[in-house]
C-alpha cells in the first residue's frame, strides 16, 4: 500500500492507493493520526487510487470523522470509485461524510464551508 500526503491551499490531502483492508488499515490509520496530531484541521482523503475498502478500513474513517468533529476540524472525502462508494453506502456511512467528486472540488469546498 502506498499513501501520499500533501498540502493544497492550506488543506492536508491524504491519498491512499490500493486496498484498505485488515492488513493495510493500520498504515492508513497511522498516517491520518499523524496528520491530525500535527495540527491538520482541514483534511481531504482522496480515494481515487483505492480499489477496495473493508470494514476495517471503514472503521479508520469512522474514527477519523469523530475525532475531526471533536476537534472542530473539517473532513471531506473525494474521488470514491463506485465499488468503494457502494461499500460506504451499504454500511450506511454516506450521510456521515461530506463527499466531493474530485480532489479539486474537495479542496474548493473548504472555501465555502462554514
> Which residues lie across from 6 on neighbouring strands?
13
Question: pTM of the full predicted structure?
Answer: 0.95
Rounded to a whole number of angstroms, the CA Rg of the chain reads 13
pLDDT, tens digit, for every residue of 22-59?
A: 999 999 999 999 999 999 999 999 999 999 999 999 99
Query: Is the separation of the CB atoms in 45 and 35 below 8 Å?
Result: no
| Residue 112 pLDDT level (bands cut at 50, 70, 90) | confident
For the chain, which residues make up each domain, given as ranges?
2-104
The number of beta carbons lying within 10 Å of the beta carbon of residue 64 is 23
pLDDT, tens digit, for every residue of 61-89?
A: 999 999 999 999 999 999 999 999 999 99
Pick the CATH number of 2-104 from 3.20.10.10, 3.30.1390.10, 3.90.1150.10, 3.30.750.24: 3.30.750.24
Amino acid at each position: 500500500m502506498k499513501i501520499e500526503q500533501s498540502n493544497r491551499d492550506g488543506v492536508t490531502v491524504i491519498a491512499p492507493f490500493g486496498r484498505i483492508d485488515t492488513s493495510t488499515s493500520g498504515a492508513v490509520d497511522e498516517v491520518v493520526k499523524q496528520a491530525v496530531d500535527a495540527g491538520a484541521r482541514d483534511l481531504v482523503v482522496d480515494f481515487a487510487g483505492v480499489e477496495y475498502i473493508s470494514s476495517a478500513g471503514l472503521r479508520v474513517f469512522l474514527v477519523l470523522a469523530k475525532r475531526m468533529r471533536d476537534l472542530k476540524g473539517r473532513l471531506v472525502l473525494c474521488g470514491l470509485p463506485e465499488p468503494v462508494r457502494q461499500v460506504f453506502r451499504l454500511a450506511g456511512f454516506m450521510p456521515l461524510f461530506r463527499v466531493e467528486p474530485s480532489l479539486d472540488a474537495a479542496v474548493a469546498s473548504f472555501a465555502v464551508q462554514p
